[in-house]
């Protein structure tokens, strides 16, 4: 949908900045890794699980990026951003509850509530 809006605005002669971005955070990737590896995020070390999540995120992200280019999406792929990159995560971490208080970050699945 956003692609159609960007295209329409360009057809009207407007300069449109439409960088392509991938949300590479969230519980969905944890669930995917749990299903593929047949183990819970709480089993084993957190470091090993995070490594598995990063590999899965990379594979899924590359697939989405290739698909967007192949279908001719009109995004600016030279300025692709990722929500887990240093610049983006630093810009948004101040809005995450607990981060400003120095609390330890946990995965969504490790929350005891």
pLDDT in tens, 71-81: 988 888 998 88
Cα–Cα dist 51/11, whole Å: 44
For residue range 23-64, what is the model confidence (pLDDT) as tens digits? 877 778 888 888 888 877 666 778 888 888 889 989 999 999
Helix (H/G/I), strand (E/B), else coil: 7? helix
Q: What is the pLDDT of residue 22?
A: 87
| pTM, rounded to two decimals | 0.61
Q: Which helix (H) or strand (E) holds 87?
A: helix 86-93
pLDDT at 11 over 90: yes
pLDDT at 104 over 80: no
């Amino acid at each position: 949908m956003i692609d159609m809006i960007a295209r329409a605005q360009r057809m009207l002669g407007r300069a449109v900045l439409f960088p392509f971005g991938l949300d590479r955070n969230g519980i969905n990737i944890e669930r995917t890794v749990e299903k593929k590896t047949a183990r819970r995020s709480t089993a084993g070390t957190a470091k090993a699980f995070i490594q598995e999540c990063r590999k899965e995120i990379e594979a899924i992200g590359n697939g989405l990026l290739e698909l967007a280019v192949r279908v001719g999406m009109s995004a600016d792929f030279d300025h692709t951003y990722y929500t887990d990159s240093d610049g983006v995560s630093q810009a948004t971490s101040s809005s995450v509850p607990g981060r400003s208080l120095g609390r330890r970050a946990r995965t969504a699945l490790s929350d005891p509530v």
